[in-house]
Copies of this chain bind each other. A is one copy, B any other.
Amino acid sequence: MTRIARFETYDVRFPTSATLDGSDAMNPSPDYAAAYVVVRTTDESVSGHGFVFTIGRGNDVELAAIRALEPAVAGLDLDGVLGDLGGMSRRLVGDSQLRWLGPEKGVMHMAIGAVLNALFDLAAKRAGLPLWKWLAGLAPAELLDFVDLRYLTDVLPRSEALEILEEGKRDVATRVALLEADGVEAYTTSPGWLGYSDERLRALLAEAKQDGFAQVKMKIGKSLDDDIRRLGLARELLGPSTRIAVDANQVFETEQAIAWAHALERFDIAWLEEPTSPDDILATAAIRRAVAPMPVAAGEHVANRVVFKQLLQAGAIDVMQIDACRVAGVPENIVNLLLAAKFNVPVCPHAGGVGLCEAVQHLAFFDYAAISGHSEHRRVEWIDHLHEHFVSPAAVAHGRYVAPGAPGASTEMHQSSLEQFSFPGGPAWSPAPAGASPAPVPA
């Protein structure tokens, strides 16, 4: 009998603040990081990999939360766990003592997500399939068993969730084949970081156009004059047919968001992303009403399914952006996809960071294959960054994600990367690179 043996954890950080990759109005100097967990089993050839993406300081706190879950998982029979992943999910999320630390939000909830994602990686590897394809092949009742509809039954009763899954099952083989041939649309945020010079922005936009991206995203929100100049430059260079989305990363008050959006509408904005606090359902709804027809997008920092439910109920978003590492893993993201399907809102997952493209592509492919059933208005963020550290890196060609083919969830990093970027002792950090900001809270 194979048992789950232990968690192996790594504090992996990349000194991205040295180059301002990833800089936006809220996050001026991130050090992209992963609180990384390997779920080891008594069979050395079988392991599951998961992580929480963070932007530096606090990655160690996230790891402490992951380690706090080890006693709930280690020692269990592997087949028993993989045969009841829904039960494991409900047990971890529902543990009353740990639940107090959220509930269902923040450090502890994300840690549960990392562990569940590692177990789903393990399950898909065992099935010999990429996660998205394994999920797409399961029966609706099996998928439904993964998910927790608690606090959702006012809008999504169990029977209706099952109907959506049954409807999604029709012609699933056709869509799987289509996905394997054509992938799903990607859009790129690589050019648009706030810390980049106009020159660099121009070069990267030209490259994005050359590479076949039909949409780019630009960071905004620090200076309106700069935003107008940068967007003017982008629109001129890209022409009218490339979509341009903008991302404010939560920096605005309600009135400010509305005024800023109006000042930018001449650039034909594909969507306005995260205009204000991710907790502020009512303000986001008010902003959407005021800036229409400019679409509003949000979700990468939404703590859980209950907040997504309300964003949809309140008519606050045109585009729902799930994140692979913010909620309680694959099971809660399946619920999020079901909610979006119920409200007929397209899901355009958040990615970038460390491994977010790798992880979230499976959810996007699964959404198209077995839940939404179509790809209209659906596109997945792409940032060409840090993929080389993954064993099966995500790949984009001609502006489209290529269907992942390797067994598992694509979440496994190279052992050499885990060691090289180990914080603070790894070679990449000793000595710390010039310009990187691992130091505590700058004054």
Contact = CB atoms under 8 A, between A and B. Distances in A.
A54 to B, nearest CB: 5
A429 to B, nearest CB: 15
Nearest to A443: B91
Given A151-B280, A253-B151, A279-B306, A58 B54 contact: no
Interface residues of A, number: 70
Query: In the complex this chain forms, how many copies of it are found?
Result: 2
B102 A106 contact: yes
B253 A280 contact: no
Nearest to A76: B443
Contact of A57 (B29, B98, B154): B98
A5 interface: no
Interface string A81-124: 00000000001100111111111111111100000000000000
A125 interface: no
Given A101-B54, A106-B102, A107-B61, A151 B283 contact: yes
Interface in A398-443: 439-443
Contact of A107 (B72, B97, B101): B101
Contacts of A278: 103
Given A61-B64, A106-B108, A153-B253, 5 more contacts: A54-B100, A58-B97, A95-B442, A279-B310, A281-B310
Interface of A: 26-31, 54-58, 60-62, 64-65, 68-72, 91-92, 95-110, 150-151, 153-154, 250, 253-255, 276-283, 286, 301, 303-304, 306-307, 309-310, 313-314, 439-443
